[in-house]
Amino acid sequence: MKLEGGKPRIFVREARASDREAVFKFCEKTWSWGDYIPDVWDRWLKEEKGRVFVATINGVPVGISHLSVDSSDEVWLSGARTDPNYRRKGVMTAITKKCLEYAKTKNAKVARLVTESDNVAARAVLKKLKFRPVAEFVETSSEKITVEKTESSRWACIDETETLWNYLQRSEVYRKSAGLYTVLFHWFPLRKEDLNRFVHQQKVIVHENSRGIADGLMLIDDATAREWRESTLQTCYIDGDYKTVLDMTKFLKNHCHSLGIKKIYGFACKHAPIVKALEKLCFEPADIEIVYEKRL
């Protein structure tokens, strides 16, 4: 693929193992601590349902992006990186277009990705490519794993999927979340079968009101512990009002304390009552992540 109009000629192709050194070099300073790309590179190259695309200028890798096929009609884009020396030259636009072309060959109907709210450059590219923001999420964490008094939270029973699914269909938070949940930094549609899987894995905390009716839920997962080799777990989806979320989070803290878990990563819809409840329980000020979507 090449871009004209005075910009460098950019070619986009599938990544090769030999790209490793060049890619790792321009990923060194993505964040203050480095980047996760070196940890996932070999795995990404071997994925049956994924592809890594590399942009080159004069044969030298200057950008990458990863695509995973999540279902028969959905793909997720992640790991977008551009060599700092080649920014504002159309590199990311070229790679993203290539990803979307590949997605169409897999009969995908929807492409999604996430970016930080303060990433102005990425958001400008996404707008140009006609992606639209569909939901905002907070990313926060707490290492204060204290014993708390809870009142009305418990683990979901295996026969509650239908009840909890009906609750979600009426939920403002579910609507504001665009019906999505996250594992690590990968957002997926929260469908009934996904909810049922979480329930059967005992990864759903439910809150009941005074009449014994579910009025809130929280999905959790230990993917952060497996992936990052930490004593942690994460919330994947949180739903409820301030008091409900407060009680469920206390229940979660008690669970972590009993297992010796040292840290909780909180991912949730950017919904004021939820954010305030997490802040009340000493979760750090949240970063804002925006999920974008494009119909193909």
State the pLDDT at residue 30: 87
State the pLDDT at residue 4: 52
State the pLDDT at residue 3: 45
State the pLDDT at residue 274: 98
Taking only the tens place, the pLDDT of each residue in 14-73 is: 999 999 999 999 999 888 888 999 999 999 999 999 999 999 999 999 999 999 999 989
Q: Give me the residues of the chain with pLDDT under 70, please.
A: 1-6
Domains of the chain, by residue range, sit at 11-108, 138-291
Which amino acid is residue 72, in one-letter code? S
Bridge-based pairing state of the strands 110-116 and 287-295: antiparallel
pTM: 0.94
Question: Which CATH number is associated with domain 138-291?
Answer: 3.40.630.30
3-state secondary structure 18-56: HHHHHHHHHCCCCECCECCHHHHHHHHHHCCCEEEEEEE
Both structure tokens of 124: 């400008």
Question: Which CATH number is associated with domain 11-108?
Answer: 3.40.630.30
List for the chain the helix, strand, coil content (%; round to 5): 35, 35, 30
| Contact assessment for residue 262 and residue 143, using Cβ atoms and an 8 Å cutoff | yes
State the pLDDT at residue 31: 84
Give the number of other CB atoms < 10 A from CB of residue 41. 21
